[in-house]
Structure 1
Amino acid sequence: MADEQNNRGAFLIQEHFCTVMGAPITARICAGLAISLDRDTRTGRRVLDWPGEPTTDALPLRLVGGLHALDLAGVAPGLSALFGGRITDPEEVQQVLRDSFITHDAAIYPWLDGPPQTNEAGRSAALMTGLIEVARQHGPRLELLEIGSSAGLNLLIDRFRFDLGGTMVGPADSPVTIRPEWRGAPPPQVPVEIVSVRGVEIQPVDVTDPKAADRLRAYIWADNPERTERLSRAIAMIEARPVDMILGDAADWIEARLAEPQAAGVTRVLMHSVVWQYLGTERQGRIEAAVQAAGTAATAERPLAWVRMEPNRNTAQQQVWVQSWPRFGEAVQLANVQAHGAWVEPLNPPRHGEGNHAKHGGGGGPAA
């Protein structure tokens, strides 16, 4: 039985996350939606009668994405004023939202059909923080396997330039430099040589399709125009040279990839960001079992590592965790990270865990 109050409450939870992440416009819209939603439209009824867990399902972000798409298309002046930050009074916000649902019900409704796929390129700074640690432990040559690749933006990690608190990684002539606010000592300046990058996605986004690219832009919060610019540059990089991403199931793919022969002197790395919560317990268990089995078989000549950026719902932050075999099988948290990679706060010393991924940042929560 759907719980209308719980479904409204999910928008207030998302408001809190947006506020913590410095996104007042999106927070204001989420707060307005919690109050203004009613049963006068198909969209309103579907949201209020949502049968699943609305926060885990990213229900608020589905709806905000649909509204933002109308703003970006220039067909809803009231929404454009709202997303532009020109309307701030709570009652005015609520009225604009009510009017928008009545006028654009048919256009908004389909945005509820699937979760947002932001595939934020800024998150690759968090992943690179983990990869630097892997390179420090096992040597520079890395073979990357990403699950939940979405549009493939983080598969450009070998082509991005990174400035991580003054530690520089990646090609100096890259059209995209990712430079998060670095809140602590920079990572060590060690060589990182990415020999291959492959990914899998169960619902891949083709960013060379203008409609798909516009959909990604709609999921970017209006508070973060720099993310939109970075997305456009990353799309241009994929258009110039596609990434290696296939359609498939994450667990099936990882089981197959970890069973492949591995080159000597190359560390095989499973990596992902803000995807674990969407996999479900069965896939999570299969991936954990495959990694543990491969880790047991890892050698100094053919190491294995697991680098992930996943949310902690209690702090509204992402956490960067690293495990590697054969010598470093214990999970270690390297940093806390803003959900879109705007800042990175390294932990000094790193926090050691129990090696069980599900206990470290896999709990889910709003992040997109």
Structure 2
Amino acid sequence: DAVGRQRGAGIGGGNDEREQTLNQLLTEMDGFAENSGVILLAATNRPDVLDAALMRPGRFDRRIHVDLPDRRGREAILAVHARSRPLEPEVSLSDWASRTPGFSGADLSNLLNEAAILTARRERQSINDEAISDALERITMGLTAAPLQDNAKKRLIAYHEIGHALLATLLPKSDDLDKVTLLPRSGGVGGFARTMPDEEVLDSGLISKAYLEARMVMAMGGRAAELVVFGPSEITQGASSDLEMVSRIAREMVTRYGFSALGPLSLEGEGSEVFLGRDWLRSEPHHSQKTGNRIDAEVQQLARRALSQAVSLLECRRELMDELVNLLIERETIEGPEFRAVVERAGELGEANIEAAQVGL
């Protein structure tokens, strides 16, 4: 994509040096000149921006698509990068491969690099599970900031994150909770509840309507917890990123997947200009203004329903929320298995499965 980008994609086009290089490359690849003994190899992470002439049949004899590695592949990649790094005997690469779904080979290399740096800073001789865990959080969530001191703010953030974590545990179609923490991160993140994506969904590429609805309800957990505990007048802007994700999922459900009352229609696409004119030359929608209004109404209905379901699931579990918040404030971090054990000990998992089935989740 550094050499073979689409020609004339910007405003006004042009015949710059890059396009001349691509034209010469295409001339050499057309097969009319004597080029026996020459093998051309190319790689890209952006096949969508390549010139059509470069991608037509006959240019390259074979195309190899490299997908993200599965669990066994991630374990083998971690083993390769672990050869030059001392690991403690209790470190299980198989466990870390299962905890990193969706990671590429470069991500896994970066994970062990960060773990090695943290190990050196702590003046240890070998990498342990704690260093890898801290490296994973640093990669996915950012640098650790100073712990919160304000008790009121700390309790508010605790309820917000417990709302996410509790719904992730209660909903049978949701991703599994990995950990919930109050330790802030750079960029203004006061805490987070991290889930592990379902590897079967990632590998198959098939996403069900129930899974998307569960993701929206789980994303609304923070706002729902604030509503249940503090009331409508005391909700905060902490759910802004959650609302963005819910809006995106809801719009895709309506316009691309046919998961709404509008029926099995694809009303919007992903296509857009990829170069200079992308932000100025937006294509007109392929539907009427009336249909656009119905799309907006369906998106709003899906978002409101997700919030209503999140509130209903948390409202009747206020005592359990208080217990989990006190535990989180005391520990600052609760791992997923321990969190699920507390919820199961309270006898909520079976009842939540029945409630989730009743609301279609």
- Do Structure 1 and Structure 2 share a fold, with TM-score over 0.5? no
What TM-score, normalized to structure 1? 0.20
Q: Which has the larger radius of gyration?
A: 2
What TM-score, normalized to structure 2? 0.20
Question: Which has a greater percent of strand?
Answer: 1
Question: Which has a greater percent of helix?
Answer: 2
